Amino acid sequence: MNIIFIGPRGAGKSKVSRTLSKRIDYPVVSTDSIIVYENGGMPIPKYIENNDWKTFRDLEYSILQKLENADGIILDCGGGILFDLDANGNEIPSERKLQILKKLGRIILLERDFKELLDKVEGDKTRPDLAKNKAYSEILKKRLPIYENAAHYKLNISNLSKEEAADKIKDWLGI
């Protein structure tokens, strides 16, 4: 069994996945870290600047394909893992990536209060600009229902420590 963390930027996926890893002895695999590694250490904002969002979304799909037969991992997904781009460059739900994620394991959506998410990522230069003309709040409002529909389990961690969140997930999974 694999455990898959999804959710928006700033939700706490990386911290909770690492904490859960210590409790259940599953290794953490980060889609974003694999992308950085496979591109010679190039940070994701630089990769997108040199390429484009469509190429990045296709690269995410390629990473998921490589992980299709994994077992016993915690997969820490980038915030946009459930999305692709249409022919006009607009963000759309990614059925191809969702199919792989559902085959891979149990999908856990980590949530935070809306304002907390916005405050957490504002001005963070380690994250690529999602859209030159759209505010993150606008993008987030469109993404939230997609995250919710994909998840087997949802956990709002606004008032939880990463340890409390990991324990709740461990209990939910029965491990």
Helices within the chain (DSSP H only):
13-24, 31-38, 44-50, 53-67, 95-104, 114-121, 136-150, 162-173
Alpha carbon distance 85, 96 (integer Å): 12
Which amino acids are annotated as binding site for Mg(2+), given as ranges? 14
Question: Within 10 A of 6 (CB to CB), how many other CB atoms are there?
Answer: 26
Note whether 105 and 169 are within 8 A (CB).
no
Which amino acids are annotated as binding site for substrate, given as ranges? 32, 57, 79, 143
Note whether 29 and 70 are within 8 A (CB).
yes
Which amino acids are annotated as binding site for ATP, given as ranges? 10-15, 127
Which amino acids are annotated as binding site, given as ranges? 10-15, 32, 57, 79, 127, 143
